[in-house]
Copies of this chain bind each other. A is one copy, B any other.
Amino acid sequence: MTSAASRDTAADPIDELIIDVFNRACPSRQAMETVADKWGTLALVALTEGAYRFNALRRRVDGVSEKMLARTLQALERDGLVTRDVQATIPPRVEYTLTAPGTRIAAALRALLDALEAEIPAIMTAREDYDQRH
């Protein structure tokens, strides 16, 4: 956005205010809040593979508790990223599916994950190096 290298002595209160307002209003920031969530991202990525029912998804996203999965899916449904289809059978079936926006976001997420996976070997050795020096 603006050059960072020049920011040096500063601490000008007006600068502070501008940066403050900018950050809070910044869409990146709001976007981050939505995506910086472990279970939410894992659920979105899992749903890339197709529709899932609650307990199937729970098994697929290993380690998630009933409570957290329910809460996560509600949040995703609220944001219009997944749809919740209830079939009034006995026992009840509830299927979760990605919406169009959800699909687009999940695709970007998967791209990020691919990028991350590509760096995992490098990250691992970096960690070992770092840990040995400390």
* Residues of A bordering B, CB below 8 Å: 1-5, 7-8, 10-11, 15-16, 19-20, 22-24, 27-38, 41-42, 45-46, 49-53, 56, 59-63, 77-81, 101, 104-105, 107-109, 111-120, 122-123, 125-127, 129-131
Among B33, B112, B126, the residue within 8 A (CB) of A78 is B126
Per assembly, the copies of the chain total 2
Q: Is the interface of A mostly helix, strand, loop or mixed?
A: helix
The answer for the CA separation of A60 and B1 in the assembled complex, in Å, is 11
What 9 pairs across the A-B complex have the smallest Cβ distances?
A: A80-B126, A23-B62, A31-B116, A108-B115, A4-B50, A78-B130, A27-B117, A108-B112, A36-B38
